[in-house]
Amino acid sequence: MPDLLVEHHGVQVLVCDADGATIATEQDALDHLVGAAFQGAELVAVPAGRFDDRFYDLSSGVAGGILQKLANYRLRLAVVGDISHHLGTGTALRDLVREANRGRDVWFVSDLDELTARLGSRR
């Protein structure tokens, strides 16, 4: 399935293809995600498997750089899918996920149904 722009509860969401390119660097985020803003997306839903493992290792700085790039373009991010195997590596990622899910700019959700429900509850 190609990337698809859809609307959920009044929010334009770019749902990214699970088989798309790996996002391993800030430049990858610019190349593959930031174009969504120019398509009218407010939020980009990226399958968890699209991110390189370094994204989940917060000491690498990859996640921070990518999240900053998205924020610069006023794009929200939903990481969609099971990241439990990354959560066992330390507390920093668990803390990030917990704090992010309390906010509105970055969410970690299990599937697109959970994302849709969260968007509906934020109206």
pTM for the full predicted model: 0.93
Rounded alpha-carbon distances, angstroms, from residue 13 to 5, 55, 94 = 6, 22, 25
pLDDT in tens, 18-58: 999 999 999 999 988 888 878 889 999 999 999 999 999 99
Q: Tell whether the model's pLDDT for residue 83 goes beyond 80.
A: yes
Residue 89: pLDDT band (50, 70, 90) is low
Architecture of domain 4-121 in CATH? Answer: 2-Layer Sandwich (3.30)
d(CA 52, CA 54) in angstroms, rounded, equals 5
Average pLDDT of the residues of the chain = 93
Rounded alpha-carbon distances, angstroms, from residue 62 to 23, 24, 59 = 10, 7, 8
Q: Tell whether the model's pLDDT for residue 123 goes beyond 60.
A: no
d(CA 26, CA 32) in angstroms, rounded, equals 10
Give the three-state DSSP class for 78.
strand
**Domain positions in the chain:** 4-121
d(CA 115, CA 62) in angstroms, rounded, equals 23
